[in-house]
Amino acid sequence: MADEMTAKPQLSNGSFYMTHLYRWLPLLVVFFFIGYFYSDTFLYLFTQWSQYQVGGYDHGFLVVLISLYLLYDKRQQLFSVPLKGSYVGLFFVLATSFLWTVGNVSDVLVVQACSLLLILLAVVWAVCGFACLRVVAFPILYLIFAVPMWSFLSPPLQVLVADVVYPALRWLDIPALRDQHIIILPAGEFLIEETCSGLRYLLAALNLSVLYAYLNYTRFSARLLVVVIAAGTAIIANIIRVFIIIYMGHITDMQHPLVQDHLNFGWILFGVLIFLLLVIDILWHKKRARSAASSVVQKQNKILEKKGVDRDCTEQPHLRTSILITGVVVLFSAIGPLLSYQVHKNSVESEAVKVNVELPIVGNGWLLGTWDGDNWKPRFHGAVEALGDYQKAGQVLRLYVGYYPFQGQDKEMINEDNSLGDGQVWFPVYAQAQPVLSGKSDFLEQIVKSSQGIRRLVWYRYYIGGRLTTNPYIAKLFQVWGVFSGDRQAAVVVMGTPIMDNNIEVSRATLVAFSKAVQWDDVAKNQLKE
């Protein structure tokens, strides 16, 4: 009878979950406002996940489901962790909101998406405390694999594939030439494009290996080793794929089916290698250290339950403190969108400005006129354009100036949709443009090629806020600085000349002569007319 009198009252399941709903209510309120303030970024991610394209991010919904499952799997830890607001977390909410603003005013959607992920972490830290953040950090950070931010790996992967495949072909005495990421054989050319870089396989390997290592290992070194092995396997699998395709194209005079349809072959090869790794791991570690660790966790949970986890669940932070921190978090998270709104409001006023872009008059015998050449023209969305042809003693050159009195979404100078070709007839040849120096002027060098085989040597560079750069990332930073300094004008200058008889040095000499005859500061300064 005494035991019954002193027995601790148990909460029913309904009361248990209602109690936790009350505990987590401040975080749910903040997440509601986050969804409203950053709805454009959420919509951007949803659009990316909804579109199927080679090298795309249509796996994003699966990543989100995995993240939600990981959170659900940690529900017992979340039920027992004490919730206590953090003033340090408030600082990170403000910092990440400002970082999102930088991405928004510079029109870099990837920065906005990554910042949103950091905002979610900062909000959990501020509202629920660091102990709660440690529990949910991995499930939230796992969403990074759904963020369209991994394309920067494609160019170095393309170079790596060419660096390995080309020597292997030469070692087999296969007559081959290499022009950056183009492998030239007697039977034809193989262009190692972004879809051939292996980024898709690498991203899939990272997704699977990070999740597998997290669920099956406890030591960081072991987890890191699993991820490194899986990533290396994906890269090696793609290199083997490209080598086999090129080799089969060589011995069959480009008639083998793999030459035309090689993506499915790559996934089969990747799947076989990953499956072998999984089998090896299972055979090598039949009894994992995680099994012992998980049993210890289960024993600790049982002890906590006996000591009264329900009592901890009903302990609430001070109501006034909770309301104060929640309100400040909502305010800080709104600062970024409010700043961005003001910036874009000022941009709308600039759209009414009439812009006249004039081509320069060049000395040293260069004449601006009409030239019955090809139809090459760079593509820069939203730019006010000027295009002209120059001639001098048999040398011909086309100059393009794309001017931006202001920049906005889809009307920006640095954008992956902009190109030195039109995407239909003209296409860039190299994965990455190469820096060149003409006198005291820096340029980026690229080759564009038409579907008819016509090639042009192209030099280009950027002007933003009166500053010159050939680095697109620095150009984005200048764009942000221009927003806050008031000088938002930008221009891209492109000049290209035909490559005759495959003599690129003659074409390069033409560009050097022209660049020395132009006053580039005058080209970048355009007159604004109401």
Which range is least confidently modeled, 68-82, 157-171, 249-263?
A: 249-263
Same domain, 66 and 206: no
What is the CB neighbour count within 10 angstroms for residue 436? 16
Which range is least confidently modeled, 93-102, 287-296, 341-350?
A: 287-296
Mean pLDDT in residue range 325-340: 88
What is the C-alpha to C-alpha distance for residues 227 and 242, in angstroms, rounded to an integer? 23
* pLDDT over threshold 70, residue 262: no
Q: Distance between alpha carbon 74 and the CA centroid of its chain, in Å? A: 29
Same domain, 335 and 371: no
In a domain, 311, yes or no: no
Band (pLDDT 50/70/90 cuts) for residue 464 is confident
Which range is least confidently modeled, 58-67, 194-203, 384-393?
A: 194-203
Instruction: Give first-to-last CA distance, the chain, whole Å.
Output: 93
Angle at CA 363, nearest 5°, toward 360 and 368? 50
* pLDDT over threshold 80, residue 9: no
User: Which of the listed residues 345, 362, 393 is the one where a domain comes to its end?
Assistant: 345
Same domain, 81 and 172: no
How long, in residues, is the chain?
Answer: 530
More confident: 377 or 267: 377
What is the C-alpha to C-alpha distance for residues 332 and 326, in angstroms, rounded to an integer? 10
In a domain, 442, yes or no: yes
User: For helices 472-485 and 87-105, what crossing angle results, to 10°?
Assistant: 100
Same domain, 140 and 156: no
Mean pLDDT in residue range 251-272: 72
DSSP string, 235-266: HHHHHHHHHHHHHHHHHTTT-SHHHH--HHHH
In a domain, 298, yes or no: no
Same domain, 398 and 474: yes
User: Which candidate, 98, 97, 129, places its Cα nearest to that of 26?
Assistant: 129
DSSP state of 144: G
In a domain, 465, yes or no: yes
Q: What's the whole-number average pLDDT of the chain?
A: 79
For the stretch 84-124, pLDDT in tens is 888 888 999 999 999 999 888 877 888 899 999 999 999 99
Strand partners, 441: 438
Mean pLDDT in residue range 289-318: 47
Strand partners, 369: 389
In a domain, 499, yes or no: yes
Q: What is the dihedral angle through the alpha carbons of 463, 157, 226, 59, rounded to the nearest 10 degrees?
A: 70
Give the chain's domain count.
3
Same domain, 12 and 113: yes
Outline where 393-457 has alpha helix (H).
none
Looking at this protein, which amino acid is placed at residue 251? I
What is the C-alpha to C-alpha distance for residues 410 and 471, in angstroms, rounded to an integer? 20
Band (pLDDT 50/70/90 cuts) for residue 454 is confident
In a domain, 358, yes or no: yes
Write down the pLDDT at residue 527.
40
Write down the pLDDT at residue 346.
63
Pairing state between β 490-498 and 395-404: antiparallel
Write down the pLDDT at residue 122.
94
Same domain, 54 and 123: yes
Which range is least confidently modeled, 97-101, 229-233, 480-484?
A: 480-484
CATH number, domain with residue 497: 3.40.1000
Band (pLDDT 50/70/90 cuts) for residue 323 is confident
φ and ψ at residue 385, rounded to 5 degrees: -110, 150
Q: Distance between alpha carbon 385 and the CA centroid of its chain, in Å? A: 28
* pLDDT over threshold 70, residue 301: no
More confident: 316 or 466: 466
Same domain, 64 and 166: no
Same domain, 94 and 206: no
φ and ψ at residue 19, rounded to 5 degrees: -60, -45
Same domain, 473 and 401: yes
Strand partners, 368: 390
In a domain, 404, yes or no: yes
Same domain, 364 and 511: yes
φ and ψ at residue 448, rounded to 5 degrees: -110, 145
Band (pLDDT 50/70/90 cuts) for residue 312 is very low
Domain of residue 144 covers: 2-148+316-345
In a domain, 301, yes or no: no
Query: Rounded to two decimals, what is the model's pTM?
Result: 0.76
Q: What percent of the chain has pLDDT over 90?
A: 15
Same domain, 229 and 199: yes
What is the C-alpha to C-alpha distance for residues 511 and 22, in angstroms, rounded to an integer? 69
User: Which candidate, 489, 492, 473, places its Cα nearest to that of 103?
Assistant: 473
